[in-house]
Structure 1
Amino acid sequence: MLVSDLTLEQKIGQMFICGFHAQEPDEQIRRLIEEYHVGGVIYFRRNIGEPEQVAAMSSSLQEMAAKQGKLPLWIAIDQEGGMVARIDHRRVSRIPGNMSLGATGNPDFTYRVSAISAQELHALGINMNFAPVLDVNNNPRNPVIGVRSFGEDPEQVAEHGSAAIRAYQEHGVSVAAKHFPGHGDTSVDSHLGLASVEHGMERLREVELKPFVRAIRDGVDVIMTAHVVFPAIEKEAVPATLSKAVLTGLLRDQLGYEGVIVTDCLEMHAIAKHFGVGEGAVLAVEAGADIVLVSHTLQDQIEAVEAVMAAVRSGRIPESVIDAAVSRVLKLKEKRLQPSGTQDSAPAFLERHEKPETERLLREVAASSITLVKDDGQLPLQEDEPVLVVWPELRSETQVDEPWTEAKTLGQALSEYIQDVNELTISAEPDLHEVEQVLAAAKGYRQVVVATYTAGSELPAGQRRLVEGLIALQPQRLVVASTRNPYDLAAVPASPAYLCCYENTPYFMEGLASILTGHAKAGGTLPVSLGSQTTAS
Structure 2
Amino acid sequence: MQRRTLLTVTAAAAAAAVTGAVAPSARADQDRPQDDRLRRIIDGMSLEEKVGQLFVMRVYGHSATAPDQADIDANLREIGVRTAAELVERYRVGGIIYFAWAHNTRDPHQIAELSNGIQRAALAQPTPLPVLISTDQEHGIVCRVGEPATLLPGAMALGAGGAHADARNAARIAGTELAAVGIRQNYAPVADVNVNPANPVIGVRSFGSDPKAVAGLVAAQVKGYQRAGVAATSKHFPGHGDTAVDSHYGLPTITHTREQWAALDAPPFVSAIAAGIDSIMTAHIVVPALDPSEDPATLSRPILTGILREQLGYDGVVVTDALGMEGVRTKYGDARVPVLALKAGVDQLLNPPSIDVAWNAVLRAVKDGELTEERLDASVLRVLRLKAKLGLFRQPYVNPAGVDRAVGTPAHLAEADRIAERTTTLLLNEGGFLPVSPASHGSVLVVGADPASPSGTTGPPTTTLAGALTELGFSATALSTGITPTAARIDEAVAASAGKDLVVVGTYNVSATSPQRTLVARLVATGVPVVTIAIRNPYDIARIGGQRATLASYSWTDVELRAAVRVLAGRARPLGSLPVPIQSADDPDRVLYPVGHGLSYDE
TM range (shorter): over 0.9
What is residue 216 of structure 2 aligned with on the other side?
159
- Note the aligned Cα RMSD (angstroms): 2.1
Looking at structure 1, the residues matched to 487 and 580 of structure 2 have their Cα atoms a distance apart, in angstroms, of 31
Is the 1:312–1:319 contact (alpha carbons within 8 Å) kept by the matching residues of 2? yes
Determine the C-alpha separation between the residues in 1 that align with 2:44 and 2:146: 40
Structure 2 residue aligned with 1:316: 370
SS at match of 2:134: strand
Structure 2 residue 227 is the aligned partner of structure 1 residue 227: no
Deviation string, structure 1 residues 182-224 (Cα, Å, up to 9, x no partner): 1111111111111111010111111101000111112111100
Structure 2 SS opposite 1:136: coil
Shift in Å at residue 342 of structure 1? Answer: 5.7
**Secondary structure of the residue that 2:56 maps to in structure 1?**
strand
Among 419, 425, 433, the alignment partner of 1:365 is: 419
| 2:560 paired residue among 508, 513, 518 | 508
Q: CA deviation at 1:440?
A: 2.6
The answer on whether the counterparts of 2:447 and 2:481 sit within 8 Å (CA) in structure 1 is yes
* 1:250 matched to 2:307: yes
After TM superposition, the structure 1 stretch with the greater mean CA deviation from structure 2, 101-110 or 419-428, is: 419-428
| Distance change in 2, residues 1:347/1:479 (3 Å) | farther
Aligned counterpart, 2:485 = 430
Give the unaligned 5+ runs of structure 2. 1-37, 66-81, 584-590
Q: What amino acid is aligned across from residue 424 of structure 1 in structure 2?
A: L
Q: 2:503 aligns with which of 443, 448, 451?
A: 448
Say yes or no: does 1:78 pair with 2:136. Answer: yes
Indicate how the Cα distance of structure 1 residues 222 and 499 shifts in structure 2: closer, same or farther if over 3 A, else same.
Answer: same
- Does residue 1:185 correspond to 2:242, yes or no? yes
**Distance across 1 between alignment mates of 2:581 and 2:248:** 26
Equivalent positions of 1:364-403 (< 5 A) are: 364-377=418-431, 378-384=433-439, 385=441, 386-395=443-452, 402=455
Q: Does the CA-based 8 Å contact 2:108-2:403 persist in structure 1?
A: no
Offset of 1:448 from its aligned partner?
Answer: 1.2
1:533 corresponds in structure 2 to 592
Contact 1:17 1:40 in 2 (8 A): yes
1:58 pairs with 2:110: no
Q: Which residue of 1 aligns with 2:531?
A: 479
Provide the residue aligned with 1:13 in structure 2.
Answer: 52
C-alpha displacement of 1:273 = 4.1
Q: Determine the C-alpha separation between the residues in 2 that align with 1:261 and 1:459.
A: 39
Q: Aligned partners of 1:410 and 1:375: how far apart in 2?
A: 19
More displaced 10-residue stretch of structure 1: 178-187 or 338-347: 338-347
SS at match of 1:533: strand
Decide whether the 8 Å contact of 1:282 with 1:307 is kept in 2. yes
Q: Which amino acid aligns with 2:165?
A: D
Which whole-Å CA distance do the structure 2 matches of 1:243 and 1:201 have between them? 15
2:469 equivalent among 414, 423, 443: 414
Displacement of 1:492 after TM fit?
A: 1.1
Amino acid at match of 1:11: K
Residue 468 of structure 1, aligned match among 515, 521, 537: 521
How big is the shift at 1:347? 4.8
Tell me: CA distance 1:515–1:405, structure 2 relative to 1, closer, same or farther (3 Å). Answer: closer
CA separation of 1:394 and 1:189: change in aligned 2, threshold 3 A = same
Contact kept in structure 1, 2:152 and 2:420, CA below 8 Å: no
Relative to structure 2, which stretch is displaced further, 511-520 or 92-101?
511-520
Tell me the alpha carbon deviations over residues 281-303 of structure 1, each in whole angstroms, 9 at most, x when there is no partner: 111111111110016x5xx1111
Distance (Å, rounded) in 2 between the aligned partners of 1:30 and 1:458: 46
Taking structure 1 as the reference length, what is the TM-score of the superposition?
0.93
Is 2:380 the partner of 1:326? yes
SS in 2 for 1:228: coil
* 1:72–1:337 contact (8 Å) kept in structure 2: no
Of the structure 1 ranges 258-267 and 315-324, higher mean CA displacement relative to structure 2 is found in 315-324
The answer (yes or no) to whether the contact 1:136–1:152 under 8 Å persists in 2 is: yes
Q: How far has the Cα of 1:319 moved from its partner? A: 2.2
TM-score between both structures, scaled by the size of structure 2: 0.83
* Residues 1:147 and 1:460: Cα distance change in structure 2 (over 3 Å): farther
Q: Distance in 2 between matches of 1:41 and 1:353?
A: 21
Could you tell me how far 1:343 is from its partner in structure 2?
4.7
Pick one of 537, 542, 557 that aligns with 1:490: 542
Task: Confirm or deny: 8 A CA contact 1:103 1:524 kept in the other structure.
Answer: yes
8 Å CA contact 2:172, 2:225 repeated in 1: yes
1:239 equivalent to 2:266? Answer no
Instruction: Assess if the C-alpha contact under 8 Å between 2:421 and 2:563 holds in 1.
Output: yes
From 30, 35, 60, the equivalent of 2:85 is 30
Among 276, 280, 286, the alignment partner of 2:343 is 286
Aligned-pair distance for 1:441?
2.1
Letter in 1 for 2:481: I
Aligned partner letter, 1:7 = S
Aligned residues: 526
C-alpha deviation, 1:160, in angstroms: 0.8
1:35 aligns to what SS in structure 2? helix
Change (3 A) 1:319 1:536: closer
The residue type equivalent to 2:139 in the other structure is G
CA distance in 2, matches of 1:380, 1:315: 69
**Alpha-carbon contact 2:64-2:118 (below 8 Å) kept:** yes
* Identity across the alignment (%): 38
CA distance in 2, matches of 1:39, 1:460: 47
Aligned-pair CA distance for 1:500: 0.5
CA shift, 1:536, in A, is 4.9
Aligned-partner Cα distance in 2 for 1:494–1:195: 36
Q: Is the 8 A contact 1:120 1:350 kept in 2?
A: no
Report the equivalent of 2:191.
134
Higher alpha-carbon deviation: 130-139 or 313-322: 313-322
Number of the residue aligned with 2:355: 301
2:336 partner SS: helix
Q: Which amino acid aligns with 1:322?
A: L
Q: How does 1:207-218 map to 2 (within 5 A)?
A: 207-218=264-275
1:245 to 1:501, Cα distance in 2 relative to 1, 3 A? same
